[in-house]
Amino acid sequence: MLSLSQILMTEGEQISSFDELKQTVQQRALETGSIFFQIDIEPPGYTDRPEDWYDQLEIAFSSAR
């Protein structure tokens, strides 16, 4: 299982926008072959973070397959 907190703990300092976070979620999903994604924390308040951030992260994960 891939979790958002895990991504942010390992790569959070290198991610500077919500768009980069979505790309990172997709990359990690492909690399790990995870079939589940847990959004266990709220991402940082990136200036480009949309109101539907939760749905967009789910879509980014799902589209990686």
Q: Are 57 and 39 in contact (CB under 8 A)?
A: yes
pLDDT for position 65: 74
- Encoded tokens for 1: 């299982």
pLDDT for position 45: 94
Indicate whether 7 pLDDT > 90.
yes
Q: In this structure, which long-range contacts are made by residues 32-39, counting pairs with CB atoms below 8 Å and at least 24 apart in sequence? A: 32/2, 34/1, 34/2, 36/1, 36/2, 37/1, 37/2, 37/3, 37/4, 37/61, 37/62, 38/1, 38/2, 38/3, 38/4, 39/3, 39/4
* pTM given for the model: 0.93
What is the share, in percent, of the chain residues with pLDDT greater than 70? 100
Mean pLDDT of the chain: 96
- Range(s) of the domain holding residue 35: 2-62
- Residue range 20-50, pLDDT digits in tens: 999 999 999 999 999 999 999 999 999 999 9
Domains in the chain, number? 1
